[in-house]
A = this chain, B = another copy of it.
Amino acid sequence: MLEFSKEEYQARVANTKAKMEERGIDVMLVTDPANMNYLTGYNAWSFYVHQMVVVSLEHEEPIWIGRFMDAIAARKTAWLDHDNILAYSDKYVQSHERHPMDFVADVLKEKGLGKKNIAVEMDNYYFTAQCYMSLQKGLPNAKFEDAKELVNWVRIIKSDMEIRYMKRAGKIMEKGMGDAIDFLNVGVRKNDMAAEIYRTFTEGTKEFGGDYTSIVPLMPTGVDAGACHLTWTDEKYKDGDIVIFELAGCYQRYHSPMSRTISLGKPTKKLDDTVKITLEGLNKVIDFAKPGVTAEEVEAVWANNLKKYDMFKESRIGYSTGLNYPPDWGEGTVSFRPGDKTVLKENMTIHIIPGMYYEDFGVEISEALHITKDGAKPLADFERKLFVK
């Protein structure tokens, strides 16, 4: 079931260990499901219970630890020796008497890792406050520190095979966004629109089947179009509605996101003007982005363009994207905003999304970009404009 060669997974582990050594980390407890997948291939919807991959400098292979029933999927989807797949009993699940991290602490002690420098993913959804408390209690002689997205930063440069997957996700995006805009119309229930989006994106293309996306279709509409993270209701689209689609093609957990804005009926001047300014800025950013420039320099291109119109955007205009699980298709590394001095490099993949959000109105036109040798290329080839129906 491996999606990449065993050698590619092993190279990822080696890169992770090299970063650990640099930072004096002996043991990494990887709880981010995307990082777990990246290092081992493990892929299942089991992150609603605690699980992790342990990377230890003293151990050649990572060790998967999870729930008893999920060890079956681990043996099927991960490249690891089955001796390195360890499972805890169901009595640890959602209990106040014992915590899965008690089991993890026991494993680490047995493996002689109880007194090591241990890095944990302090701000990951799947490493809760209780995880940390239970680990500290179970391993009183260990020294803990924040991994600060160590594996995510290894992931930020994609391999050729990953880029190939991202491009397949881009193909799914092209088809899906086209079908979505075709289906959209006055009188259609919003949930039926979402149903069509799910259908077309999951169907994918004849060659590549679609995977589930880490964020559901975001489709704020009309006076709510500025509330960018709204999903849908079963109300119908009305004449004059502004519709935002923030969607992603997904292939084998790799995402290529994109947003477009559609006007049902003749656009207002305010909408036309905001789209014009957004497109102008976005196009300048795409022209500017390339290896060697920093994230904040990219953002400045956008911000300076806005300034011409006496406008300002409070939020970042993008982030690294690619491999992830719910609730986010961002990778938690670079943010395109003032102060972020990350230097762009070849084979980074980023989502530039300069959304313009207001109390009663909004515009989103965005692109997922592949940083190439000397520029930036959209992963999906789809007309960049305001659609009018």
> Hey, which bits of chain A sit against chain B, CB under 8 A?
1, 43-48, 68-70, 72-73, 75-77, 89-91, 93-97, 99, 120, 122-133, 146, 148, 189-192, 194-196, 198-204, 208-212, 215-216, 218, 224, 226-234, 314-316, 319, 326-328, 330, 332, 335, 337, 339, 355, 357-359
Contacts and interface: CB of A to CB of B under 8 A. Distances in A.
Given A191-B211, A195-B202, A337 B72 contact: no
Given A72-B357, A327-B47, A315 B90 contact: yes
Contacts of A76: 224, 227, 230
Contacts of A339: 91, 97
- The secondary-structure label for the interface of chain A is loop
Contact of A228 (B69, B189, B330, B332): B69
Contact of A191 (B133, B202, B330): B202
A229 B73 contact: yes
B230 A93 contact: no
Contacts of A211: 191, 231-232
28 contacts: A1-B233, A44-B229, A45-B229, A45-B230, A46-B229, A47-B327, A48-B215, A69-B357, A72-B358, A72-B359, A76-B224, A76-B230, A90-B314, A91-B337, A93-B316, A99-B123, A122-B128, A123-B130, A124-B128, A125-B128, A132-B132, A191-B203, A191-B209, A192-B203, A198-B198, A209-B234, A212-B216, A327-B327
Nearest to A326: B326
A180 to B, nearest CB: 13
B337 A90 contact: yes
Nearest to A228: B69
Contacts of A73: 224, 227-230
A218 to B, nearest CB: 6
Nearest to A136: B129
B316 A90 contact: yes
A370 to B, nearest CB: 22
A195 B210 contact: yes
A129 B125 contact: no
Given A204-B191, A234-B209, A328-B48, A335 B218 contact: no
A43 B233 CA distance: 11
Contacts of A201: 195
Given A191-B210, A203-B192, A45 B148 contact: no
B194 A202 contact: yes
Nearest to A44: B229
B227 A209 contact: no
The winner among A46, A97, A148, A190 for most chain B CB atoms within 10 A is A46
A48 B329 CA distance: 9
Nearest to A67: B315
Contacts of A319: 94
A190 B1 CA distance: 14
Nearest to A71: B227
Q: 3 tightest A-B contacts by CB?
A: A209-B234, A191-B209, A198-B198
Contacts of A227: 44, 70, 72-73, 76
Nearest to A316: B90
Contacts of A209: 189-192, 232-234
A236 B218 CA distance: 30
B128 A133 contact: no
A232 B234 CA distance: 28
A216 to B, nearest CB: 4
